[in-house]
Amino acid sequence: MTRKMTTRSALAFLAGLALSVNAQAAEPPKMPYVFEKFCYPCHMEGVQTGPVGILDMRTKAGNPLNPEFIRSNARFGYNAMPAFRPSEVSDKALDDIVSYLKALAAYRKTHPGYPRTGEKRGNK
């Protein structure tokens, strides 16, 4: 009898977990403050300062974007991309940016109509 109750409880827990994961996937990821402050102004569509492909974790050529490439460019700069000192953008903040971009790219795959220019609006 105890085993049945434990099994049922575990199944109920897993079902609830699956529902919460699905609920999270229905919402766009929240933009980290550091991305909004330092990255978004140049990497939003229509600005054309920085490539907008990072919002899909893609290079300009359409290839998958390596997270280390993002970290390296943010830390040391590249072409028009400025370098950000650790006092401006910490290593944890870089990790948050990469996590956000990965989550955003995954969200945009399942929600292809999600606008690049409207991402900032609902996430404040």
What's the pTM? 0.70
Which ranges constitute the DSSP H helices of 1-124?
2-26, 33-34, 40-43, 67-76, 91-110
**What percent of the chain is predicted at pLDDT more than 90?**
43
**pLDDT tens, residue by residue, 59-114:** 888 899 999 999 999 999 998 899 999 999 999 999 999 999 999 999 988 988 78
Can you tell me the distance from the alpha carbon of 103 to that of 57, in angstroms, rounded to the nearest whole number? 10
Phi, then psi, of 86 in degrees rounded to 5: -55, -25
Are 97 and 90 within 8 A, CB to CB?
Answer: no
Please indicate, yes or no, whether residues 59 and 119 belong to a single structural domain of this protein.
yes
Please indicate, yes or no, whether residues 75 and 95 belong to a single structural domain of this protein.
yes
Please indicate, yes or no, whether residues 20 and 76 belong to a single structural domain of this protein.
no
Please indicate, yes or no, whether residues 100 and 56 belong to a single structural domain of this protein.
yes
Please indicate, yes or no, whether residues 60 and 111 belong to a single structural domain of this protein.
yes
